[in-house]
Amino acid sequence: MARKLSPAERLASAEKDLLLEELADQSSWDQFLVEQAVFHYGQRHDDFSCNDLRDVLPELGHGFLGAAINSLYRGGIIAHTGRMVPSTQANTHGHRISVWTLTDKGHAIAAQRAARAQRRAA
């Protein structure tokens, strides 16, 4: 039988749920911006890791970095290079993180965007 929550536990849980709802409301837009930043960074660098991206993203973007990487990976936009590097984030104690690169699909999307931008400028 499940233990009943105390009033304080229920309030804490309700507050946590409200915070999660607020994050969910904002997260799709913020994650989209971080995905765009990762894609943009990938166009300009042969390979990259979250270490590189944390250095160029504002603090707000750090929380969405993992979700953005996973989304781009699942979408076939980026691929794992097979290499790992130690994390430079202090709270991770140097655990290994993946190194990524843009795929052919990612490069094709970048080329399409560049062509569209040139047509608009002309």
CA separation for the pair 56, 73 (Å, rounded): 20
CB 65 within 8 A of CB 116: no
Which value, to the nearest 10 degrees, does the dihedral of the CA atoms of residues 75, 81, 84, 85 take?
Answer: -100
Distance of CA 59 to CAs 39, 65, 84, Å?
18, 10, 23
Cβ distance 30 to 61 under 8 Å?
A: yes
Please give the average per-residue pLDDT across 86-98, as a whole number: 85
Structure-token pair, residue 28: 């799709």
Closest-CA residue to 41 (of 52, 33, 30): 52
3-class DSSP assignment, residue 81: strand
Place of tokens 């691929």: 79
What pLDDT digit, counting tens, does each position of 47-89 carry?
999 999 988 887 765 678 888 899 899 999 999 999 999 998 8
Coil, strand or helix at 64? coil
Please report which confidence band the pLDDT of residue 32 belongs to, taking 50, 70 and 90 as the band edges: confident
pTM of the complete model beyond 0.95: no
Please state the rounded mean pLDDT for residues 14-22.
52
Q: Which residue has the tokens 């790992």?
A: 84
